[in-house]
């Protein structure tokens, strides 16, 4: 029988120290006691994702696939073998990895309580707990994640796996070489954003936040529950139908990756072998939906699939620097595209479903990840409250993985990261409500913090010095229509 991966908060509600949670804690402890060269040990497993340590002979470390279309299948395989190792180490033959679905009301959008307590029943230590600066102070103190970073709505609304012209759900088509600057929609939000909000600031070489840096992230036990949720979202995306499908290209299907099983034996899987978790890997999620059930529920907004090449309609004329405060930039519309950018033209094009509109944030550079998620807002009135601001929110940018990109030899000289946001709906709303003016297109970047009402200090206060000292620089912001 297939094993069922369950919602961690449902387990906590049933019992704050549910057997499954205790089994996980036990396994983490056992794995942490193993030697770094043991493939079933904690250090080795995390190093498969990334590490600053030198690999022992023959070890396959630093393998994580990000910013390309192998992000989802590689992490699915990684989780699958990790779960088998945990199951064996825990002594619980029925163990299945829980997932953390943070896209729910409080308290489910807070770090699950077993990860916030320094001890556990009948033990003076709790390997699931990490104090600041290993995790952000606001998160450890029970801060709530903003819906701006937890929502998978925008990612799920994508119809294509890889884009372009949109970001695609799963990531751009590219050879498996790791960070290359462009992220699929689900990889950015919620994936990258959650990494950054949990992690705190990166002070370098895993001395600060863990989740903030791909080279230390998997050392934090919450990493696996976060990725389990991302894996679950992949199932949901497929179930939404409407043309959503995995790549069928041989170069994706036949790409294989190697891991170690619970006996330390090298094992390989191809992407084609992991596209259907239930039948191929024998696990399901407790809320997996059947395609037919989803079709009955409200669909995310439909985006036109355009075949026309995207045309640049407006662009910023100077770079933007983000140092932990809100910052804005105006987009200038060149004479050549002005006629197509009037309120009437934009309202018409987006209403008819004729045009899709994209915002590109390009040449994003930083020395290190300051630990700040910047929300990107289009023409948001400065006085708008959070609920109202949601109407102008087009997505988030982070520099998760910038440390790897900076030292990624094949990409030396390619400036930083790029993000593409599908802003068709936001632009359509602005134009229809008469709030679109081609002479006043403003993009605002605003830090998004966990919400921690009971805490005196702002959850961002820890990060402020790093954000100010190591700003994120954005070369250009541009608007495209396709
Ligand atoms: Cu990750």
426-469 confidence digits (pLDDT tens) = 999 999 888 899 999 999 999 998 887 665 566 667 777 777 88
pLDDT in tens, 266-286: 999 999 999 999 999 999 999
Read off the tokens for 216: 């230390």
pLDDT value of residue 203? 80
Centre of ligand 1 from the C-alpha of residue 271, in Å: 18
| Residue 161 CA to ligand 1 centre (angstroms) | 18
Separation of CA 191 and ligand 1 centre (Å): 6
Q: How many CB atoms lie within 10 A of CB 60?
A: 15
User: 219 or 388, which is more confident?
Assistant: 219
pLDDT of amino acid 58: 85
218 C-alpha to center of ligand 1: Å? Answer: 8
| d(CA 35, ligand 1 centre) in Å | 24
Q: How far is the CA of 68 from the centre of ligand 1 (A)?
A: 13
Residue 65: its pLDDT value, please? Answer: 86
Given a cut of 50, whether residue 301 has pLDDT beyond it is no
Tens of pLDDT, residue by residue over 322-334, are: 999 999 999 999 9
Residue 195 alpha carbon to ligand 1 centre in Å: 7
Q: How far is the CA of 243 from the centre of ligand 1 (A)?
A: 26
CA of 190 to the centre of ligand 1 (A): 10
The predicted pLDDT at position 307 comes to: 57
Looking at residue 179, what is its pLDDT?
Answer: 53
What is the distance in A from the centroid of ligand 1 to the CA of 340? 40
What's the CA-to-centroid distance between 405 and ligand 1, angstroms?
15
pLDDT, position 377:
96
State the pLDDT at residue 231: 98
Q: What percent of the chain has pLDDT over 90?
A: 67
Instruction: Compute, in angstroms, the gap from residue 430 CA to the centroid of ligand 1.
Output: 34
- Which region among 147-156, 228-237, 298-307, 379-388 has the lowest average model confidence (pLDDT)? 298-307
- pLDDT the model gives residue 414: 57
Report d(CA 99, CA 92) in Å as an integer.
18
Ligand 1 centroid, distance to 209 Cα (angstroms) = 14
CA of 193 to the centre of ligand 1 (A): 10
Per-residue model confidence as pLDDT tens digits over 72-121: 999 999 999 999 999 999 999 999 999 999 999 999 999 999 999 999 99
Asked which of 134-138, 150-154, 172-176, 425-429 is least confident by mean pLDDT, the reply is: 172-176
Using the mean position of ligand 1's atoms as its centre, give its distance from the Cα of residue 312 in Å: 32
227 alpha carbon to ligand 1 midpoint, in Å?
A: 6
Position 451 scores a pLDDT of 82
* Whole-number Å distance between alpha carbons of 31 and 53: 18
Measure 226 CA to ligand 1 centroid, in angstroms.
8
Higher-pLDDT residue of 280 and 293 is 280
User: pTM for this structure?
Assistant: 0.93
Residue pLDDT, tens place only, 29-65: 999 999 999 999 999 999 999 999 998 888 888 888 8
What is the percent of the chain where pLDDT is above 70? Answer: 91
240 CA → ligand 1 middle, Å? 23
């Amino acid at each position: 029988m297939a094993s069922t991966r369950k919602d961690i908060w449902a387990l906590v509600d049933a019992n704050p120290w549910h057997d499954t949670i205790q089994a996980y804690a036990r396994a983490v402890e056992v794995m942490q006691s193993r030697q770094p060269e043991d493939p079933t040990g904690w250090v080795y497993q995390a190093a498969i994702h990334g590490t600053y340590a030198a690999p022992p002979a023959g070890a396959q470390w630093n393998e994580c696939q990000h910013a390309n279309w192998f992000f989802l299948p590689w992490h699915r395989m990684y989780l699958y073998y990790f779960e088998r190792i945990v199951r064996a180490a825990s002594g619980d033959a029925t163990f299945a990895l829980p997932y953390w679905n943070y896209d729910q009301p409080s308290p489910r959008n807070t770090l699950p309580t077993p990860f916030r307590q320094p001890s556990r029943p009948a033990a003076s230590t709790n390997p699931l707990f990490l104090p600041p600066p290993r995790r952000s102070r606001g998160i450890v103190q029970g801060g709530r994640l903003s819906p701006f970073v937890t929502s998978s709505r925008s990612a799920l609304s994508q119809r294509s796996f890889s884009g372009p012209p949109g970001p695609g759900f799963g990531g751009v088509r590219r050879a498996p070489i790791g960070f290359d600057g462009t992220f699929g929609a689900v990889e950015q939000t919620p994936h990258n954003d959650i990494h950054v909000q949990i992690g705190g600031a990166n002070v370098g070489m895993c001395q600060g936040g863990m989740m903030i840096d791909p080279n230390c992230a998997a050392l934090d036990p919450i990493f696996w529950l976060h990725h389990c949720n991302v894996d679950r979202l992949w199932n949901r995306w497929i179930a939404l139908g409407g043309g959503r499908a995995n790549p069928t290209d041989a170069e994706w299907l036949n790409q294989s990756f190697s891991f170690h099983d619970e006996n330390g034996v090298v094992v390989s899987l191809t992407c084609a072998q992991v596209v259907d978790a239930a039948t191929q890997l024998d696990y399901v999620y407790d809320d997996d939906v059947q395609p037919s059930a989803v079709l009955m529920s409200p669909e995310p907004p439909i985006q036109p699939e355009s075949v026309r090449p995207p045309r640049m309609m407006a662009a910023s004329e100077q770079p933007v620097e983000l140092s932990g405060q809100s910052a804005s930039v105006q987009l200038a519309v060149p004479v050549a595209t002005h006629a197509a950018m009037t309120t009437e033209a934009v309202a018409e094009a987006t209403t008819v479903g004729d045009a899709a509109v994209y915002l590109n944030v390009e040449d994003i550079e930083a020395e290190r990840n300051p630990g700040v998620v910047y929300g990107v807002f289009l023409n948001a009135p400065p006085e708008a409250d959070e609920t109202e601001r949601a109407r102008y929110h087009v997505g988030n940018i982070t520099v998760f993985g910038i440390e790897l990109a900076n030292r990624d030899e094949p990409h030396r000289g390619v400036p930083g990261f790029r993000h593409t946001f599908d802003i068709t709906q936001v632009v359509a709303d602005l134009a229809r409500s008469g709030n679109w003016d081609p002479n006043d297109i403003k993009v605002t970047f605003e830090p998004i913090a966990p919400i921690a009402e009971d805490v005196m200090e702002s959850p961002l206060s820890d990060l402020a010095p790093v954000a100010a000292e190591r700003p994120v620089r954005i070369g250009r912001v541009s608007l495209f229509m396709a």
